[in-house]
Amino acid sequence: MAVPVYSADIVAQARRRRMRRVWLVVMLGIVVAGYTYGALAERVEDRNDLLPQWLEAVLLGTVFALASLPSGSAVLARIFIPVPTFLLYITVLTGKDPPLPYYAAFPVALAYAAALTVLSAYLAEVPDRSRLGSRR
Q: What is the pLDDT of residue 62?
A: 95
CA dist 128 to 13, 50, 63, 131, 136, Å? 15, 43, 25, 9, 11
- Nearest Cα to 72, choosing from 126, 116, 22? 126
Domain that holds residue 88: 81-126
Q: What is the pLDDT of residue 135?
A: 53
Question: 80-131: per-residue pLDDT in tens?
Answer: 999 999 999 998 999 888 888 999 999 999 999 999 999 999 988 866 555 5
CA dist 48 to 1, 34, 62, 82, 87, Å? 59, 20, 22, 22, 14
Question: 48-93: per-residue pLDDT in tens?
Answer: 778 888 999 999 999 999 999 888 888 888 999 999 999 999 989 9
Residue 56 lies in a domain: no
Residue 87 lies in a domain: yes
Question: 5-53: per-residue pLDDT in tens?
Answer: 778 888 888 788 888 888 999 999 999 999 999 998 888 766 677 888 8
Q: Is the pTM of this model over 0.85?
A: no
Residue 89 lies in a domain: yes
Residue 90 lies in a domain: yes
Q: What is the pLDDT of residue 46?
A: 60
Give me the number of domains the chain comprises. Answer: 1
